[in-house]
């Protein structure tokens, strides 16, 4: 199929905007990215865990999205192989463990995964073989071998460098979809939670994390620690740095990490292994997850503006898949899987008139 190159503006350089830019450049489109926070920008994507964990998120996702997540993992594998700079992408699965008093939470979670062949119960010995530094502290767990993880800030840096190298323009400024709409063939609105002011269905869910360095400890994969208040995870980063996250706070504003959240996260880390008592705190961060009522993403087409938003806890997990849906929509390719994730709303009269005028010019 021959694709006519279009002038496309992408507003927002979170993972959704960058992933769209990457996919659309493959089809030869001319891309201009807008973000006042820079490239890469310091946003919810930049501080995320980077877990590509569709089964771990089964409580938040219907089966069709789990399929989408698995396709994204394959797409990330291809992207990682294409990027000139190596990125920390690992397909080593995820391990769930629980302290004795929280074993019932692990059992409840296991019941959601009953039908999934890729989930396996593991005992003390297998946990130790997977993660020797847990050192016999957990007697029962679940291993989800098809999950993966990557390092978000490094991946976003590598994507920005690659997009620049492929000729994408980057403008460090605010942009308004309704204005750019008149200057570009297509506008992708990827503003994350900032789009709340024009999309009343969108809400922000705050997530807080702690980064700590512990030279005494290593992990080969994300470890999820069942916790009564929110799902906790510890994700390994290079250099014995570990990220622990994340809180899940509805309606919370502000960019700070609360004292209570910091204490809860750090004490959970300490219960994972006492050597964290001497760990060095590197940073505390918070981000706002853009979310719709059902916590599922939406691609909405209104005239020549395509909004991609509501990625909630799944920005890295789902963005390559969503970008594939956007790419196919723009290329006019239809298939049963991707087409059904794009919802097309009627163009309003103004948009049609503008398009006709542009066509006539
Ligand atoms: C603590 C935490 C941990 C997470 N862990 C994971 C995880 O392990 N796995 C996973 O898949 N997901 C995870 N997520 C979710 C993921 O981070 C989000 O779903 C994702 O960041 C949303 O990406 P986005 O591009 O839509 O928005 P954002 O990353 O918020 O980016 C939006 C960008 O738009 C820009 N912008 C806004 N308005 C304008 C404007 N008018 N003009 C120009 N630019 C504008 C902003 O400056 C910003 O840079 C986590 C989130 C948090 C908070």
Pocket flag, ligand 1, residue 246 (CB < 6 Å): yes
The structure tokens listed for 307 are 């909004």
CA of 346 from ligand 1 middle (Å) equals 27
The region of weakest confidence among 89-98, 108-117, 328-337 is 108-117
Query: What pLDDT does residue 160 have?
Result: 98
Give me the residue spans of the domains in the chain.
1-92+148-199+293-361, 94-145+203-291
Residue 352 reports pLDDT greater than 80:
no
Q: Is 127 in the pocket of ligand 1 (CB under 6 A)?
A: no
Q: Say whether 125 sits in a helix, a strand or coil.
A: helix
Retrieve residue 128's tokens. 């130790």
Please state, rounded to an integer, the average pLDDT across all residues of the chain: 92
Residue range 304-350, pLDDT digits in tens:
999 999 999 999 999 999 999 999 999 999 998 898 899 999 655 45
Residues 208-225, buried b or exposed e (16+ Cβ, 10 A)? bbbbbebeebebebbbbb
Radius of gyration of the chain (CA): 21
pLDDT bracket for residue 351 (50, 70, 90): low
Q: Say if ligand 1 is within 6 A of residue 191 CB.
A: yes
Q: What is the pLDDT of residue 346?
A: 67
Over residues 44-72, the mean pLDDT reads 93
| pLDDT at residue number 347 | 57
CATH number of 94-145+203-291: 3.30.9.10
Ligand 1: which of 19, 46, 48, 321 to mutate, judged by most atoms within 8 Å of the beta carbon? 48
Question: For position 361, what pLDDT does the model report?
Answer: 35
Check whether 353 has a pLDDT greater than 60.
Answer: no
Mean pLDDT of 54-63: 87
Which protein residue's CA is at the shortest distance from atom 19 of ligand 1? 315
pLDDT(355) > 60: no
Is the pLDDT reported for residue 357 higher than 70?
no
- What is the model's pLDDT at position 358? 44
| pLDDT at res. 92 | 97
**1-92+148-199+293-361: in CATH 3.50.50.60:** yes
Give the end-to-end CA distance of the chain in Å, rounded to a whole number. 27
Average pLDDT over residues 152-156: 98
Q: What is the mean pLDDT of residues 138-157?
A: 96
3-class DSSP assignment, residue 343: strand
- pLDDT of 116 reads 72
Task: Tell me the pLDDT tens digit for each residue of 258-279.
Answer: 999 999 999 999 999 999 999 9
> Among residues of the chain, what percentage have pLDDT more than 70?
95
Encode pLDDT of 212-260 as tens digits.
Answer: 999 999 999 999 999 887 779 999 999 999 999 999 999 867 679 999 9
Please tell me if the CB atom of residue 177 comes closer than 6 angstroms to any atom of ligand 1. no
Going by CA atoms, what residue is nearest to atom 51 of ligand 1?
48
- By C-alpha distance, which of 39, 47, 44 is closest to 13? 39
The number of residues in the chain equals: 361
Band (pLDDT 50/70/90 cuts) for residue 20 is very high
CB 211 within 8 A of CB 62: no
Q: How many CB atoms lie within 10 A of CB 267?
A: 10
């Amino acid at each position: 199929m021959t694709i006519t190159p279009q002038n496309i503006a992408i507003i927002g350089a979170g993972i959704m905007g960058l992933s769209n830019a990457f996919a659309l450049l493959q089809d030869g489109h001319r891309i201009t990215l807008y973000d006042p926070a820079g490239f890469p920008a310091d946003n919810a994507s930049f501080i995320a865990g980077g877990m590509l964990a569709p089964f771990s998120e089964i409580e938040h996702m219907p089966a069709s999205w789990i399929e989408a997540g698995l396709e994204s993992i394959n797409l990330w594998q291809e992207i990682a192989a294409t990027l000139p700079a190596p990125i920390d992408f690992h397909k080593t699965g995820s391990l769930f463990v629980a302290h004795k008093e929280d074993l019932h939470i692990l059992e409840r979670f296991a019941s959601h995964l009953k039908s999934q062949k890729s989930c396996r119960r593991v005992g003390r010995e297998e946990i130790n073989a997977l993660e020797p530094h847990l050192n016999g502290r957990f007697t029962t767990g679940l291993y989800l071998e098809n999950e993966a993880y990557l390092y978000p800030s490094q991946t976003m840096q590598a994507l920005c460098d690659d997009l620049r190298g492929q000729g994408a323009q980057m403008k460090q400024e605010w942009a308004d979809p309704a204005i750019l709409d008149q200057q570009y063939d297509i506008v992708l609105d990827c503003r994350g939670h900032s789009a709340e002011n024009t999309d009343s269905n969108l809400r922000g869910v705050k997530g807080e994390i702690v980064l700590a360095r512990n030279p005494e400890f290593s992990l080969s994969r994300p470890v999820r620690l069942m916790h009564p208040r929110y799902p906790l995870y510890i994700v390994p980063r290079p250099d014995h740095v570990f990220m622990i996250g994340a809180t899940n706070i509805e309606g919370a504003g502000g960019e700070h990490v609360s004292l209570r959240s910091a204490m809860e996260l750090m004490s959970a880390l300490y219960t994972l292994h006492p050597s964290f008592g001497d760990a060095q705190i590197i940073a505390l961060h918070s981000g706002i997850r853009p979310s719709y009522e059902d916590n599922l993403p939406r691609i909405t087409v209104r005239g020549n503006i395509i909004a991609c938003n509501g990625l909630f806890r799944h920005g890295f997990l789902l963005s390559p898949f969503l970008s594939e849906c956007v790419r196919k929509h723009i290329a006019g390719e239809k298939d049963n899987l991707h087409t059904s994730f794009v919802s097309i709303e009627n163009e309003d009269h103004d948009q049609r008139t503008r398009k006709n005028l542009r066509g006539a010019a």
